[in-house]
Amino acid sequence: MILLDYTYYQLTNLYRYFNKDGAERSYGVVMTCGLPCWNLIFILMVIDNFYIDNALPSKYLALLYCLPIALLIALRYWKFTSYEEIKARVQDFRKA
């Protein structure tokens, strides 16, 4: 989970650097949910194109595969983990 935490922390800081409107938390959650989903879709497309035909029969099925991942990540960052906890953990990670 440290990789997702680090990604969330960096994306939130990136948005905070360019925009000062206070929406960095939601931007961080949306982008952190989006990156694993794009990776999953890419892997499914490669498998479909090169290895197994009809591994990905529909583009909507790919979104259905991403839905549980996105919901779990969003739930984690909206409800259970605060930005301050992640900031402390990531800064300790950077020092090591």
d(C-alpha 62, C-alpha 56), whole Å:
7
pLDDT at 3: 86
pLDDT at 72: 92
pLDDT 10s digit of each residue in the chain, 96 long? 788 888 899 899 888 888 888 788 888 899 999 999 999 889 888 888 888 877 777 878 888 888 999 999 999 998 898 888 888 888 877 665
d(C-alpha 71, C-alpha 67), whole Å:
6
Question: Residue by residue, what is the 3-state secondary structure of 10-68?
Answer: HHHHHHHHHCCCCCHHHHHHHHHHHHHHHHHHHHHHHHHHHHCCCCCCCHHHHHHHHHH
Entry pTM: 0.78
pLDDT at 96: 53
